[in-house]
Every structure is written in C-alpha cells, then in structure tokens.
C-alpha cells in the first residue's frame, strides 16, 4: 500500500478537504505538512459542516491519528479555538489522536500586526495576504529567530527567544508607525498558553517513522496549492511556504521515499482568491455564474473567489513540478447547463505563444489565453457516483482534460458530500 500526498494544482480552494476526508477512511495517520491558519478546508459529514484551518482533515474520524507537522506555522491561540469549536460539534480531540510537532514554529500576535501593517503600506500593490502572520512567521523561521513549540517548555529559553524576536519585530513596527509589542505581556501570554499546548507536542518524525515501519498507511495533506508555491507559483502573489508534494517529506520529518503516490486536486474550472495573475478569469456573467453555482467564497476570509475557465497549461505545469500521479477533479457539477465550455490550451503575448506559464511578473500579467471550445451538457452530474451516472459529453470533457494535462483522473467529485465521488483508481492501492 502506498502512502499518499494530496496537493492542490491550481491556486487553492480546489476541494482538498473533501478528498482528504474521503481518503482518510483508508488511512491510519493524516499529516498536515505546511501552511498555517490562512488555509481553510470545509468538510460535510452527515449534514454537519466542519471548517478546518490548522487541524488535519483526519480529525473528523475518531480512530485516526492526526499530526500537525513541523512545516506548519502554528498560532497556538487559533489552534485551541479550533479544537474547542470541533469539540462543540461532537468531535473527540485529545493528545491521543492529535499530535503537534515540537519543532513547529509559533505565530505570535506581532506576526499578524506586521503582516497587516505591511499590506496597508503597499496600498494598491497588496499581495493579498490574509493578515494572519503566516509570512512573517516563516521569515523568522528562516531568519533563525523564531519561537518553536518546544520553547514553551523551557522558561529561560523562551525569555531569550522573545527578546531576540522583539528586537526585530519592534524595530519593524516602529518603522511602519505601528504600536510596539510589550515584552512582559507577550511572555505572560505564552506562559499561560504553554500548559494547554504542550500536552499535544511530540517528536512527530519518530511517530511517523514508527507508523511507516509498522506498515500503517499515511496520508499527507497540503494547504494552498502549487501555483501559490513560494518558488514555483505566481511570485510575489504566493504563500510563504513550499506547497508541492516534496514538502510533505521535509514538513513532516519523513524520507521522500515514504511517499508513494501524489494526488493532485483540481477543479473542473479555475478560481483564485486575492491578487495576482489569472489568465482565464471571467469578469462577466460566466464568472458570476461559476461563482454562484460553486459557492465560491473563501473558507477563512469569506472573500469572493475570482472565477474562470479551466487552465490546462497551468494545471499541466503544476502537475509536472509536483510529480502528480493522478488527479482528483472536483466540482464537475458546476459546469452543468453550459452550452459550451472553454479550456485554455496555451497563452499568447504580442507575437509569441507559450505552452507554459512564464516566471516573469510582467509576462504573467500580460499573457492572454488561447481557448479550445468543448461541447457542454444539459444533464445534471451532481451526486454522480459512477461513470454510468455521467452524461457522455461530460465524460468526453474529462477525457480531453486528461489529454491536455498529461495526467489521468483518479477521482471525480460531484458534490460536497463525501460519498458523491467516482473512484477510478485508489491511490492507496498503488
């Protein structure tokens, strides 16, 4: 049985939560390996809606072990609020079924202050962050001044870390004409939350190594998506971490060879939240129709998502970079009723054409899509659970998508409900 990494191959919001939840029934351990509480997954289980940000999707299943890996940046107050919210929905969460990597970096209130102050200063050139401090926390991690979960258990180290951090943070806040952080207040807040967080802390690399050696199936859950990757995405309109499948190993503390199958998640159309290039965006009635039918609003931010046609060039590029073995195609039902459906098969800029998304910011902003038109279908695909339930024209669309992205569709999602899924190939069986 293969261990499986699940990653988005567009700009996020592809429906990873449902797919991970569906796969978690077949897994023993579910690991979140990057990002922070700027990510959002919505799961619908027995008519109960769960909105998760930091917690792995496996928490909705009581017999699974969920792990927040070292590649995640963790706001401890947000984590405890989310745990309390999920308990209020009937989930049992404790250190028995939820572990937090003791070497994970913490997000502090000052990270959010810096994030929001810098976005405000950018004015019309905003990157479109959620303002929750994710980027500044990753900066501190790379700058070797971050506070980690394990530091909460060592009062002397914690005080020294706070001093080092605030030397940097308060200088930046002064420069941005924002209120500075009070050292004693921050230390007291961290000391107060430490006994609530530390019971979950563990050497998660060891837990995963033992799980691998004993043959337990591991599911690695990514946040955001490949085109928001800090290296390979639409820079600078990206997140602050690596979002590709390769990060599953580094962000959880397991060897790359332990990941046997990479499942990419893609909508049957395209969406994006916030600023940045979006070649197939439809700022018209088509875009509004996709947004309304797909209920395209950010789980975390509530911001409406920008909507457009499926971009085969972008998905193919993302799939190759992240090593996708198969695709889970979601929200096919949103395309029901369109007479014609456009698919982007290339880009043009001036007299040049591209079969890839260029790296340069100016080129990304100026490229225009080259479309191929596919026949739509009038029948409903919502709730389909087998190929036999799908209109022939919808199947034809799926097959064309497979050809254009050079990857097979392994799963098909036709509604937010867990069981409304067509399984073509079980990733865990590879």
Q: State the number of CA atoms in the 13 A half-sphere of 69 facing the CB.
A: 25
DSSP label of 281: B
Give the residue among 31, 33, 82 at the shortest CA–CA distance from 53.
Answer: 82
Could you identify the residue written with the tokens 């199958």? Answer: 261
Q: How many residues does the chain have?
A: 430
DSSP label of 192: H
Q: What is the pLDDT of residue 83?
A: 97
Residue 266 near residue 328 (C-beta atoms within 8 A) = yes
Strands 4-8 and 261-267: parallel
Q: What is the pLDDT of residue 299?
A: 59
Residue 394 near residue 312 (C-beta atoms within 8 A) = no
Q: Is 397 helix (H, G, I), strand (E, B) or coil?
A: helix
What is the per-residue pLDDT across 151-210, written as a single tens digit (0 to 9) for each?
Answer: 999 999 999 999 999 999 999 999 988 899 999 999 999 999 999 999 999 999 999 999
Task: Find the DSSP H helices in 42-89.
Answer: 76-88
Would you tell me the crossing angle of helices 76-88 and 183-197 to the nearest 10 degrees?
40
pTM of the model: 0.92
Peptide bond into 61 cis (omega under 30): no
Residue 102 near residue 150 (C-beta atoms within 8 A) = yes
CA 191/CA 234 separation, integer angstroms: 39
Output the six-digit token pair for 363: 């080129």
CA 110/CA 136 separation, integer angstroms: 9
Question: What string of pLDDT tens digits covers the 430 residues of the chain?
Answer: 689 999 999 998 898 888 988 898 899 999 999 999 877 777 777 778 888 889 998 898 888 999 999 999 999 999 999 999 999 999 999 999 999 999 999 999 999 999 888 887 777 777 667 778 899 999 999 999 999 999 999 999 999 999 999 999 999 999 988 899 999 999 999 999 999 999 999 999 999 999 999 999 999 999 889 999 999 999 999 999 999 999 999 999 999 999 999 999 999 999 998 889 999 999 999 999 999 999 897 655 567 899 999 999 999 999 999 999 999 999 999 999 999 999 999 999 999 999 999 999 999 999 999 999 999 999 999 999 999 999 999 999 999 999 999 999 999 999 888 789 999 998 988 6
Strands 41-45 and 48-52: antiparallel
DSSP assignments along 102-153, one per residue: TTPEEP-HHHHHHHHHHHHHHGGG-----SSSHHHHHHHHHTT---BGGGGG
Would you tell me the crossing angle of helices 109-122 and 134-142 to the nearest 10 degrees?
110
Q: What is the pLDDT of residue 372?
A: 98
- Apex 300 CA angle, 296 and 305, nearest 5: 25
Write out the catalytic residue numbers. Answer: 13, 41
- Chain centroid, CA 325 distance in Å: 18
Strands 421-423 and 409-413: antiparallel
- Apex 328 CA angle, 18 and 92, nearest 5: 20
């Amino acid at each position: 049985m293969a261990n499986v990494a699940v990653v988005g191959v567009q700009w996020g919001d592809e429906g990873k939560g449902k797919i991970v939840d569906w796969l978690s029934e077949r897994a023993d351990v579910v690991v979140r390996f990057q990002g922070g509480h700027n990510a959002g997954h919505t799961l619908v289980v027995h008519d109960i809606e769960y909105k998760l940000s930091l917690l792995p999707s496996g928490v909705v299943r009581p017999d699974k072990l969920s792990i927040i890996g070292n590649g995640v940046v963790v706001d401890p107050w947000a984590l405890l609020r989310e745990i309390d919210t999920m308990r209020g929905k009937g989930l049992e969460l404790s250190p028995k079924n939820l572990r937090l990597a003791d070497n994970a970096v913490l997000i502090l209130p000052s990270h959010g202050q810096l994030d929001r102050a810098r976005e405000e200063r950018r004015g019309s050139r905003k990157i479109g962050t959620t303002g929750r401090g994710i980027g500044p926390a990753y900066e501190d991690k790379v700058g070797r001044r971050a506070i980690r979960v394990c530091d909460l258990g060592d009062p002397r180290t914690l005080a020294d870390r706070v001093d080092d951090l605030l030397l940097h943070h308060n200088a930046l806040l002064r420069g941005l004409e924002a209120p500075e952080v009070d050292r004693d207040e921050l230390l007291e807040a961290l000391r107060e939350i430490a006994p609530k967080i530390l019971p979950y802390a563990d050497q998660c690399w060891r837990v995963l190594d033992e799980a691998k050696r004993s043959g337990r199936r591991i599911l690695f859950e990514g946040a955001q998506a490949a085109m928001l990757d800090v290296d390979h995405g639409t820079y600078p309109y990206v997140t602050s971490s690596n979002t590709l499948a390769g990060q599953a190993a580094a962000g959880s503390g397991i060897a790359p060879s332990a990941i046997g199958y990479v499942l990419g998640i893609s909508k049957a159309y395209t969406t994006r939240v916030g600023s940045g290039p979006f070649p197939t965006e439809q700022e018209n009635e088509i875009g509004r129709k996709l947004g309304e039918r797909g209920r395209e609003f950010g789980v975390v931010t509530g911001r409406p998502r920008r909507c457009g046609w499926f971009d085969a060039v972008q998905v193919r590029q993302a799939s190759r970079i992240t090593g996708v073995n198969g695709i889970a195609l979601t929200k096919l039902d949103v395309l029901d009723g369109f007479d014609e459906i456009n698919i982007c098969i290339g880009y043009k800029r001036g007299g040049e054409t591209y079969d890839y998304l260029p790296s340069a910011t100016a080129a990304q902003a100026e490229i225009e899509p080259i479309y191929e038109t596919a026949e739509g279908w009038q029948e409903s695909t919502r709730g389909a659970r087998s190929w036999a339930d799908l209109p022939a024209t919808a199947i034809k669309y799926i097959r064309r998508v497979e050809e254009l992205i050079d990857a097979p569709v392994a799963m098909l999602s036709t509604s937010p409900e867990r069981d409304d899924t067509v399984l073509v190939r079980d990733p865990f069986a590879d």
